[in-house]
Structure 1
Amino acid sequence: MSQPTPVRSDNINYDPLPLTSEQHTDSLYNAPSAPPSPGPDAAFHTPQQSFRELGDESIPSGAAQPRFLGAALYDERGPNIRDSYASSHNTYPSIGRESEYSSSVYALNEARGAGSLSEPYHDDPRDGMAMSPVGGARASRYMEEKRATYAPPRSKRKVIVIAVVAAVILLLLAIIIPVYFAVVKPKNNAANADASSDSSSGGSGSNNSGGGKAGGSLAVKTGGDGSKVTMEDGTTFTYSNKFGGMWYWDEEDPFNNGARAQKWSPALNETFNYGIDKIRGVNLGGWLTPEPFIVPSLFEPYVNLPTPAVDEWTLSEAMRADSANGGINQLEDHYKTFITEQDFAEIAGAGLNYLRIALPYWAIEVRDGEPFLEGVCWKYFLKAIQWARKYGLRINLDLHTLPGSQNGWNHSGRLGDINMLQGPMGFANAQRSLDYIRVIAEFISQPQYSSVVTMFGITNEPRGSFMGQDVLSSYYLQAYDIVRKASGTGEGQGPIVNFHDGFFGRTNWAGFLPNADRISLDLHPYLAFAQQSDAPITTYGTTPCTAWASDVNSSMSAFGLNNAGEWSLAVTDCGKWVNGVNQGMRYEGNYVLDPSFKRVGSCDPWTDWQNFDQTTKDGMKTLALASMDALQNYFFWTWKIGNSSVTGKVEAPHWSYKLGLENGWMPTDPREADGQCGNTAPWDPPLKTGSGQIPASVSASLPWPPASISKGGAVTDLPSYTPTGAVPTLSAPTFSPSASVGDGWANADDKAGLMVAISSCSYLDPWIGTTANPPSPLCSGGSTRRKEPVLEVREPMITPPPGV
């Protein structure tokens, strides 16, 4: 459990201010504390600057010594908020007292890093935050400046000497030190002051999220708990973050990385120390890659068609035929409404610092009559980057779908066969997939985006047993090289490459890619899909600790960074369409794909979340805490489950983080999980690191292309593409004219073309399945050998932004 921060023993003792003779004690910390800052009705809070300015009758007989705080001092740019109630004259209450950047003694804090402090000093000693020691670089510099500027005049009159000394001490606490928020321009200081006032109305305008103007004054650009946020459509909400998080957005400075999700999570302009700083994340599943059980209302109108909507392929076909209800544009309506900016703010306020966002390959392009909505979801991923930056969140971009499908499940785009690294089109689809990895890597490796999109899951849940681990490993190495070519090597250069384990387990990846630079192993540990039991959820409180914790520790040593890209609170497969549309449930004994599961009971008690008793909720919360502690770095699946249009409620409650927060079965502070499994320090850093250069012997053992693939045969006998196409570079967001948004391509030396069909060769449908034979003859009038990507002189083609 998170404990209150005790008063630090190394605080510097200063002479008491002449404010009161009374001593106060903070019972919470059992340590003496300074008297509280006086309120607006405190006696003798005088506007005068010295005894000389008092009238003869200003001090009543027997009264205490007055407080010569005077009017707040402002510089030429206007007022700044500060942490002392008295020194602000109650002009800017609320948020300002929470900000390290607004502290009236900001200069006495030690710097944490670029644009931020390790812990800010506040006037309220109960915060337990200490000033920098006297003699520290910042403290000494400012103390010397204060002494030089306000040295008391040489005088023999004792009363004047005392008054001047008192004024020096008070001015030291009251003078405003102009400070940039990260790299905010000085003109924004007035806007920062507005952020601490509830009377601020914010701004609106295209993509400014509060960075425009309202009522002729600068709109709010930053704030903390209780501040008002204006979204791009002009609507507002109150930011709630009890963990010291600070948001920031200015369209004129759209790549500012000063925002922080929580005080314990590094700001975006600071280093996230993997293996030390924990990834506490959540997925935005079902948003840009809709799934039936996450957004049932999208699929429910089309499940009774002759070809029911069971995946995004059939959903897209059904919507295109339904022009009366908006056609395929219904998908964009879903993108606009299912996840909004406010969700990002709520995620930061829930104590989470990372997002995993599933992105389909049709964010880039479609081919061969694929019915997906091309390119539009990319526009909303750009919004995700903007919103994540605004609230200090980092993103793990997960490439969730691949041409032909990498697993045959509905969330790969099309339910059915596996046509990636398997079957007659398996190699061609892998070539195309690597191209999409390259296009994405080039975009997110640009400096404008690399601080936000810090992880890249190159393929979601490939079913490795169908492909073979050697073939999958060869593909992974090729993808790794592509990402590193886009981003370069060295700390902070491009994203962590995230490899799913292909369902082989952690131990089978120990030592994979020795000397690799910034890689992570991704597993999806679910309890829901194994043998079903009617045991209450209260009996699962230690299951994650015994099942996962030891393996995670071992793999963190043998491989490096591990993360659980998906997990949930489900211990049964109960929930509408959890297994897919009309696929039934193991728990009820009607699971279509495996009739061997016998009925355990009815799922109704598991999904009737409105009637969960407190014991059930407590059991779910215990399971959540144990899972978080055992997995260490994680992304819960998923943030939100949409309501069914048939029942009007969430039908898969164990999969919704948001619903759990609202109903008390998810922790409001994920740090509560630390030590839940009985070990408060489950991982002993540091992680393995490497220069990025894979040994030649390893590369030779994992050649690309592989000699053959499953259910396809020799690669030389299979259809393949050649790199002669124009590259559809991803478009950038639109901000103010002064913002450099990049051209979508980080490495100008990477000039190979896109893998496209050879005019003299024959191809099958990319989704053909594994039983078809390759075309024969494969090609005519020339060699059947394909060309692999090289640094050819071919410029990428910049595609325009998707339609607004």
Structure 2
Amino acid sequence: MASHGQPSANIAYDPLPLTTEDHASNALYNAPPSPDPRLTSFHDANNMQPGLLPEETSAIPAGAAQPRFMAAPLYDQGGSMTRDSFASNSIHGGQPSEYGSVYALNDPRGGPYRDDPSGDGYRDSVPMSPVGHSRALNEKNDVYAPPRQKSRKTMLIVAAVVALLLIAAAVIVPVYFTVIKPKNNAADSSSPSDDKDHTGTAKPTATKTPENVVTGGDGSIITMENGETFTYRNKFGGYWYYDPNDPYSGSGKAQEWTPAINETFNYGIDKIRGVNVGGWLNPEPVRYLFFLVVILACTHDPFYAPALYQKYFPRAVDEWTLTTLMAADTAGGGLKQMEDHYRTFITEKDFAEIAGAGLNYVRVPIGYWAVEKRSNEPYLEGVSWEYFLKAIKWARKYGLRINLDLHAVPGSQNGWNHSGRLGNIGFLMGPMGYANAQRTLNVIRILAEFISQPQYKDVVSMFGILNEPSGSPNIGQQQLASFYFEAYNIVRQAGGGSGADKGVWISLHDGFLSRQSWFNMFPNADRVSLDSHPYLAFGGQSAAPMSSYADTPCSAWGASINETMAGFGLFNAGEFSNAVNDCGLFLNEVGEGTRYEGTYTKAATTRVGSCTPWTDWQNYTPQMKTEIRQFAMASMDALQNYFFWTWKIGNSSESGVVETPAWSYQLGLENGWMPEDPRDADGTCGNISPWTPPLQSWQTGGAGAGNIPASVTAQYGWPPASISRGDAVANMLAYTPTGTIQTLTASTVTAASGEHVTHTADPGNGWNNAADNSPMYVEISGCTYLDPWVDPGTANPGACAGAAAINRRAPAPAPIPNPLITPPPTA
């Protein structure tokens, strides 16, 4: 086959047959000769000039003209023909093809047909037909009557089988052999399913994927672990990839413009177009209001699995109360209800659809109980981690990268329900503030060591070490910066140091402080991104129509974001939504109403209007959808690197429908108020106060990365001198670093009967850097600690505190133990 841009005149083509057998009469008759392209009649019929083709008589019988192609000719940049063929733009009989002048080969967008459009980088390439399908088969059937045959049924069957085989070869073979093979340290992040879930309930038997089918594009069929199937849809040239012989391959590609997992993502140039999977592994019932206006933005995360909480309304207000009530409700399913939620709320199909929506990143919030919990804490320990392992497998398969977000920590970093327990702030505040921070550093270290392993770091490529800490007005920037600096050092040590290939990017939330206040705080810090969550919903409520917000994101955020990219480095909006008011189920707090309707019980409010026009999405007018889409695109362009909150929202158990539509990307995509192609947002704001890439070398792990001045260590070294609403750290309750190292690991990939697996993949031991062998923070024997969520105003008891506790060390570094193998995920 001629390559792109190369002539094909050297290819000898079989001549057209000049005789045909009439099978009914066994008679032979002469077919009419092909028209001579040098005749005026041929020119008139096909818009071609006589004499364009060279004289060619080597294989053409007398009386027949040179054979011609049906495909359009390709042109080089000079405009000359690069292929000796004719393009017919005249269809004789039947209806015109929607694909252009020739059936299925010419796309209305004007892009040329290519054998492997995903490989050449052209945005307008025409994708190949899915396996088993043809775009123009019906058109061809309408135009061409089938010839008389001895056995029409037999011939049709044979033709269909041949066509399917050819199409399958055209789709599967090129993708498979052009996929970039990954490094040799591949293994599988998924775990084999055992026969029962954590409660002993038998699981459905999964249907196996056909042997040796390791990749596919638009239209391919996916079989999930539970045996259900779906059709993969991706019109952007993306393809999935999973090979059981090489399960850690990073060959999946979300879209043709997004680097595959085993290719380099150029931060600052390649845009993060992402979405959260909120409400999945960290279920949230409500959005607890913290009224803070920073450039028209207030922020904290809304709840997105309402039915899970409505069963226990109004007692369940956070995951602490929810799991407590579930555990007591043995007749209703107990804590198995939580795992049922993990298993069903987000599945492999969601990850496939996220890639198909043109997105390339997924932010996955988790609670600290994915790693560990204390005996008196009611959470379902460790099970959400097993489902996070599934997320890694699915993301790798579909070419998506993950931002792992630590959403809830011991004592709560903000007092909101999504932190695990509604109420007090006990992280870096009050008498347990320092001890809770030490325990959180344990969790960060364990997670960092796992995701820094070569099997995972290219998929879990960003780590949000703490979601929405209340830096202002509660914790304080000095204390928060000290914690961030210690966490930074922990993550970098887990990766083996500084450098582009050393572990993951670190995302630091601004703590509700101005972004400018973080500029130059950690000069030369390696691969650090500043995270903000700009929302309009929780500022002043307004009766203004949706159309009035068309340019608000551009004017409110655009210039500030560009300033941050220049003054700090990479910026990412970890959360934003389409909401311009607080209308929506449980958006503020369980049963607490809304400001928009004047029913909010936590503060005096004046009714602005009814929420119905905003939440009744089934009756949105086309104009309303257009206005929401305009707002969404303005937000995307202004924020540049973003994660929409959230991908999906669960239905209300009472109404059976989504009651917070402004927060669901999936619902907006299905109903026309989110852009089908997120690239359509580019340029919406007109590039206000532009920032010019690339990032500084040290910001991306290049020259100078990690060379942090000693003055920074002196100012922000751990621990801070004092704790907000506490005391000098030397007098605070503390843990001692003498504990055994805990690891998180994935189970090895083992071959099921009949699968073509030739080796067992190594999932790693959960600990990337063997030199990171300092013991964990644990309680001091004989000491009594306060409740981690104690009122921060409680007096510091003083016992078991002081420099002796803080500086106590084990006699010798504890060796890294054998991995504590995480049980395999359930189906």
TM-score in terms of structure 1 length: 0.76
Letter in 1 for 2:487: A
Instruction: Give 1:508-527 correspondences, 5 Å limit.
Output: 508-527=517-536
Query: Using the alignment, how far apart are the partners of 1:580 and 1:540 within structure 2?
Result: 26
1:600 CA drift (Å)? 1.1
Quote the residue 2:673 is aligned against. Answer: 665
Match of 2:177 in 1: 179
Alpha-carbon separation, structure 2, partners of 1:323 and 1:33: 79
Do the aligned partners of residues 798 and 184 (structure 1) sit closer, same or farther apart at CA in structure 2, a change above 3 Å counting?
A: closer
Residues 1:570 and 2:572 are matched in the alignment: no
1:445 to 441, 452, 457: 452
| Structure 1 residues 359-378: aligned runs within 5 Å | 359-378=366-385
Equivalent pair of 1:464/1:502 in contact (CA under 8 Å): yes
Matched, 1:633 2:641: yes
Which residue type is aligned with residue 321 of structure 2?
T
Contact 1:206 1:233 in 2 (8 A): no
Report what 2:335 is aligned to.
Answer: 328
- Looking at structure 2, the residues matched to 33 and 326 of structure 1 have their Cα atoms a distance apart, in angstroms, of 74
Distance of 1:789 and 1:503 partners within structure 2: 38
Deviation track 1:655-714 (CA, whole Å, cap 9, x = no partner) reads 000000011000000000011012399431111232113111111011211111111111
| Deviation sequence 1:460-502 (CA, Å, 0-9, x none) | 0000010110110000000000000000221121111100000
| Cα distance in 2 for residues equivalent to 1:22 and 1:361 | 75
Deviation at residue 635 of structure 1 after TM alignment: 0.2
| Cross-structure match for 1:477 | 485
**Secondary structure in structure 2 of the residue aligned to 1:521:** strand
Which residue matches 1:705?
719
Structure 1 pair 122/506, CA: closer, same or farther in 2 (3 Å)? closer
Cα shift readout 1:220-279 (whole Å, capped 9, x = no counterpart): 210111111122222221110000001001222110111110000111111111111000
Q: 1:598 to 1:447 in 2, by over 3 A?
A: same
Which residue pairs with 2:363 in the alignment?
A: 356
In the alignment, is the contact (CA less than 8 A) between 1:563 and 1:633 conserved in 2?
Answer: yes
Residue 268 (structure 1) aligns with: 261
Offset at 1:778? 3.3
Is 1:422 equivalent to 2:429 in the alignment?
yes
Contact 1:752–1:790 (CA<8 Å) still a contact in 2?
no
Could you tell me how far apart the structure 2 residues matched to 1:33 and 1:566 are? 56
Aligned partners of 2:485 and 2:809: how far apart in 1? 15
1:258 aligned to which of 251, 260, 267: 251
Matched, 1:238 2:231: yes
State how far apart, in whole Å, the 1-side matches of 2:178 and 2:528 are. 35
- Please list the CA deviations of residues 55-102 of structure 1 after superposition, one character each: whole Å capped at 9, or x if unmatched: xxxx99844456999xxxxxxxxxxxxxx9xxxxxxxx999x9xxxxx
Write the mapping of 1:89-488 to structure 2, written as runs, cut at 5 A: 117-119=119-121, 179=177, 181-183=179-181, 218-292=211-285, 293-304=303-314, 308-465=315-472, 466-488=474-496
- Which amino acid in the other structure matches residue 820 of structure 2? T
1:730 maps to a residue whose letter is L
Q: Partner amino acid for 2:561?
A: V
Provide closer, same or farther for how the CA distance between residues 180 and 631 of structure 1 changes in structure 2, counting only shifts above 3 A.
closer
| 1:796 Cα deviation after fit | 4.0
Q: What is the letter of the counterpart of residue 413 of structure 2?
A: Q
**Corresponding residue number in structure 1 for 2:682:** 674
Matched with 2:91 is none
Q: How many residues align?
A: 655
**What whole-Å deviation, never above 9, does each CA across 1:577-601 have from its counterpart, x for those lacking one?**
1112123212122323332x32212
In the alignment, the residues of structure 2 paired with residue 94 and residue 740 of structure 1 have an alpha-carbon distance, to the nearest angstrom, of 45
The higher relative CO (CA closer than 8 Å, separation ≥ 6) is in 2
How far the C-alpha of 1:783 sits from its partner, in A, is: 3.6
Match of 2:614, SS?
helix
| Residue 591 in structure 1 maps to residue 600 in structure 2 | yes
AA at the equivalent of 1:276: I
Does structure 1 residue 500 correspond to structure 2 residue 509? yes
Q: Matched residues in 1 for 2:740 and 2:813: separation?
A: 12
Query: Does the 8 A contact of 1:762 with 1:775 survive in 2?
Result: no
Residue 400 of structure 1: how far off its partner (Å): 0.3
Cα deviation, 1:170-229, whole Å, max 9, x if unaligned, reads xxx9xx9993532289xxxxxxxxxxxxxxxxxx9959xxxx9969x6342101111111
Question: What secondary structure is seen at the aligned counterpart in 1 of 2:311?
Answer: helix
- SS for the counterpart of 2:673 is coil
- What is the CA-CA distance between 1:748 and the residue it aligns to? 0.4
The answer for the alignment partner of 1:769 in structure 2 is 791
For residues 93-140 of structure 1, give each alpha carbon's deviation from its aligned partner in whole angstroms, at most 9, with x where no partner exists: 999x9xxxxx9988xx9xxxxxx955389998999xxxxxxxxxxxxx
Unaligned runs of 5+ in 2: 14-33, 39-46, 50-57, 71-84, 86-102, 108-112, 130-169, 184-190, 195-205, 286-302, 699-704, 751-758
Q: Which runs of 5+ in 1 are unaligned?
A: 1-9, 24-31, 35-49, 52-58, 70-83, 85-92, 98-102, 110-115, 128-172, 186-203
- CA distance in structure 2 between the partners assigned to 1:324 and 1:676 by the alignment: 54
Query: Does the CA-based 8 Å contact 2:182-2:262 persist in structure 1?
Result: no
Change (3 A) 1:214 1:609: closer
Offset of residue 329 of structure 1: 1.1
Q: Which residue of 2 aligns with 1:748?
A: 770
The Cα of 1:751 is off from its aligned counterpart by 1.1
Q: 1:506 and 1:325, CA in 2 relative to 1: closer, same or farther beyond 3 A? A: same
Residue 730 of structure 2 is aligned to residue 716 of structure 1: yes
Distance in structure 1 (CA, Å) of the matches to 2:236 and 2:516: 37
C-alpha distance in 2, partners of 1:714/1:464? 18
What is the rounded CA distance, in whole Å, between the counterparts of 1:533 and 1:223 in structure 2? Answer: 48
**Cα distance between partner residues in 1 of 2:570 and 2:635:** 17
Cross-structure match for 1:148 = none
Counterpart in the other structure of 1:735? 749
Q: 2:800 matched to 1:778? A: yes
Q: In the TM superposition, what are the counterparts of 1:588-627 in structure 2 within 5 Å?
A: 588-595=597-604, 597-627=605-635
Q: Conserved in 2, the CA contact under 8 Å of 1:721 and 1:787?
A: no
After superposition, what is the alpha-carbon deviation per residue over 1:697-732, rounded to whole angstroms, capped at 9, x for unaligned?
A: 111011211111111111111110011122221121
* Contact 1:282/1:638 (<8 A) preserved: yes
Provide the secondary structure at the position in 2 that maps to 1:400.
strand
Residue 543 of structure 2 corresponds to 534
CA distance in structure 1 between the aligned counterparts of 2:466 and 2:683, rounded to whole angstroms: 32
Residue 720 of structure 2: SS of its match in structure 1?
coil
The answer on whether the counterparts of 1:280 and 1:352 sit within 8 Å (CA) in structure 2 is yes
CA contact (8 A) 1:750 1:791 kept: no
How far is the alpha carbon of 1:359 from its aligned partner?
Answer: 1.0
Task: Please give the root-mean-square deviation of Cα atoms over the aligned residues, in Å.
Answer: 3.5
Kept in 1, the 8 Å contact 2:260–2:399? The answer is yes
CA distance in 2: counterparts of 1:22 and 1:255, whole angstroms: 55
> Are the aligned partners of 1:397 and 1:453 in contact in 2 as well (CA < 8 Å)?
yes
Amino acid of the residue matched to residue 218 of structure 2? D
Look up the match of 1:75: none
8 Å contact from structure 2 (residues 735, 805) kept in 1: no
In 2, the alpha carbon distance for the partners of 1:126 and 1:206 equals 35
1:574-631 CA-to-partner distances (Å, cap 9, x unmatched) read 1011112123212122323332x32212212211111111111111000000000000
In the alignment, which residue of structure 2 is the partner of 1:135? none
User: What amino acid is the match of 1:226?
Assistant: G
Report if the CA contact (8 A) 1:282-1:634 is conserved.
yes
Cα distance in structure 1, aligned partners of 2:611 and 2:261: 43
| Whole-angstrom CA distance in 1 between matches of 2:436 and 2:381 | 18
**Structure 2 partner of 1:793:** 814
Of 679, 687, 697, 1:689 maps to: 697
Distance in 1 (alpha carbons) for counterparts of 2:128 and 2:658: 42
Identity fraction in percent: 56
| 1:744-780 Cα deviation digits (max 9, x unpaired) | 0000011112211001333111111212222243369
Task: Give the Cα–Cα distance (whole angstroms) in 1 for the partners of residues 449 and 48 of structure 2.
Answer: 54
**Residue 362 of structure 2 aligns to a residue in which SS?**
strand
